[in-house]
A and B are shown apart, each in its own frame.
Chain A
Amino acid sequence: MSVKIEASHDGIPHNKVMVIGAVISLVSLYIAIIGTTLGVDYLAFFGGIAAIGALIWGNSTIKKLCSYGIGTGVPSAGMLAFGSGVIALLFASTLSGISIWIVPVAALILGLVVGLFLGWISNSVLNMKIPVMTRSLAELAAVGSLALMGLGAVATGFVGFMDIATFDLLGVTVYNASYLGAGIIAVSFMLGAIALQHPFNACLGPGEKQDRTNMLAIECGFLSMIVMAVISFAFVSLIAAWISLVVAVIGWAVSYVKYVALSKRDAASWLDAKPFSDSEE
């Protein structure tokens, strides 16, 4: 049983952030799918935007969950989100056999189901009794599943299971050089998990501000997208990979500069090669 400590006074309420994040994520994933159904892969970079939407949502959830005094547990929340999200993602992507259009929504719903089950275990079986635990774990699993799907879309251009489990190498279908078979999903997993926990973990403290934390979430999303865009050179066409990389680098640079400006706004003072003045001296 824990006591709630308010992390910071939020300008935008959590439910609104959640809806905004989920809508950005789903709409971007559908735009990426429209690209694949048209047979072009240069819309793959929308997967990165989907991951960013999910990260903004998840960041707000982590902030809410961690206001119950689990400060050192912030990084583990990221791992948990993606660990449960990967189950939902793999199951949802197999549903592409029925229709590719149900995959993103299925990832969201299956993520919520997996998370609800884990939340029930932690609150009722492990007796943690943290009031927001069940809801937060459900949200985090959905966030993990959407962000993984987005990062996967950047790398391969696809969200369907057969497309991420096989790779066409000179006309021969191989499994061990695919997104799943070569373990690139492990890179997505770690990129997403650290990007999800980093914004709140890095801005932790009494002076935490929502706009600065959200800007860091966007920065982390674009940074992850840069890496996936570089890896995508092995999977998608040259033009598509370059578009993803340029979008990611520009997005990262803009959000990084804005984040530094917001940090300067919130910092007590901004010193260059000057000593601190000690109150005890």
Chain B
Amino acid sequence: MQEIIIGIGVTALAGALAAIAGAAEDTESNIGSQGDPNSQVQLAPQMGYTHRIYNKAVSGEPPAYTLWVTLACGVAWAFLMLGVNAILAIVFGTVLATFVQGVYATTAYLGRTASLSKFGQPVFIDVIKSVTTVTMAHAFVAIITTVTVCYLMMTVIGHPFALPLLGIVWGLALGAAGSATGNPYYGKERQYQNQKFGAGVPISASGNIVRYAEAGQRSSIDNGFFTAKFGGPASGLCFGLIVFFELWRTILFEDYLAGWGAVIAGAVIIIIFMIIDRYVEVWGRKNYGPYTVEASA
């Protein structure tokens, strides 16, 4: 009984940490313009729209976050082997991962921008200085929380995987959650905020992304300010629920049917979510409907 109570406590803690990780991850990727909305940032100068948006083309978010989290886990493991306190080991691993993330971010921005010289896109040194540090700070929060989740799984719950392997699994899940949940909000809402609402993204508007602020020209720090209100928390909720349900079903149902109980519980959770998703989709379509041209036009 006591094991289950500790397990439920760890599940709740891990879920909460994962929610923070998801929110920080999505905000980080939006500030740096990583993931699929990056294609519009890349395209804009070629369409004649010079901008001050960061171009963090490292890779898709899932592979990038797999690297940051895995290497933080690997370094943390090495420090644990050297007898360093667990919290310090996780911090050291995360600091190194954040450093690697920052280096990759700057080389991607410099490389992509220099290769766009034909279209007159300048390299902005002040953007590198201000935006890189902000993405690194958000990445630090996302990585340290995810590594802590992995560490809790390994030590308290006794997951059979080694720490870096858990890092691969949960880093990938974190990147995928942020990419799938948060990116549409940044890519469709924020980048095209200057287009008519509900018009979709017409081909003629390709590359015409938001480049100006209330006063002056925007850098992409403002994207974080915008998406942290909705896209970030939604990603956090998504990743938090993934981690929570994953641990919850394992702890409660692992003892039934020689481990198959957890598998069946997982399948049932997926089916319930599919029903909810379908209901929400139908409800949304019925209430908001397809875009129609106004009758007077």
Contacts and interface: CB of A to CB of B under 8 A. Distances in A.
Interface in A128-181: 176-177, 181
B30 to A, nearest CB: 19
A187 B74 contact: yes
Nearest to A213: B111
Contacts of A272: 124-126
B200 interface: no
Contacts of B108: 198, 201-202
Contacts of B110: 202, 259-260, 263, 267
Given A279-B48, A279-B50, A190 B71 contact: yes
Given A182-B163, A207-B114, A202 B124 contact: no
Interface string A28-39: 000000000000
A216 interface: yes
A197 B122 CA distance: 24
B248 interface: no
A205 B55 CA distance: 12
Contacts of A220: 107
Contacts of B112: 202-205
Interface stretch (B60-68, B138-146, B230-238, B252-260): B60-68
Interface string B73-114: 111011101100000000000001000100110011011111
A82 to B, nearest CB: 11
Given A230-B78, A269-B122, A219 B107 contact: yes
Given A204-B112, A272-B125, A186 B59 contact: no
Given A204-B115, A267-B114, A269-B123, A234 B104 contact: no
Interface string A193-221: 11001110111111110001100100110
B117 A212 contact: no
Contacts of B74: 183-184, 186-187, 227, 231
A264 interface: yes
Interface in B216-252: 216-217
Chain B interface size, under 10 / 10 to 19 / 20 to 34 / 35 or more: 35 or more
A275 interface: yes
A194 B64 contact: yes
Interface string A244-263: 00000000000010011011
Contacts of B57: 201-202, 204
Contacts of B111: 199, 202-204, 212-213, 216, 263
B7 to A, nearest CB: 23
A112 interface: no
- Among B58, B78, B111, B112, chain A packs the most CB atoms within 10 A around the CB of B111
A222 to B, nearest CB: 10
B75 A201 contact: no
Contacts of B165: 183, 186
A184 B77 contact: yes
B272 interface: no
A268 B117 contact: yes
B168 interface: yes
Nearest to B69: A190
Contacts of B104: 194, 198, 223
A131 to B, nearest CB: 25
19 contacts: A183-B77, A184-B77, A186-B164, A187-B70, A190-B66, A202-B110, A204-B115, A207-B117, A219-B103, A227-B71, A230-B75, A231-B75, A231-B78, A234-B77, A271-B122, A271-B126, A272-B126, A273-B125, A276-B52
Given A207-B114, A269-B122, 12 more contacts: A78-B59, A78-B63, A183-B168, A186-B164, A194-B104, A201-B58, A204-B57, A207-B116, A230-B96, A264-B114, A267-B113, A267-B114
Interface of B: 42, 48, 50-52, 57-60, 63-64, 66-67, 70-71, 73-75, 77-79, 81-82, 96, 100, 103-104, 107-108, 110-126, 161-165, 167-168, 216-217
Interface of A: 74-75, 78-79, 176-177, 181-184, 186-187, 190-191, 193-194, 197-199, 201-208, 212-213, 216, 219-220, 223, 226-227, 230-234, 256, 259-260, 262-264, 266-280
Q: Which 9 A-B pairs have the closest CB atoms?
A: A205-B115, A183-B162, A187-B74, A75-B59, A202-B111, A183-B164, A234-B78, A268-B117, A263-B110
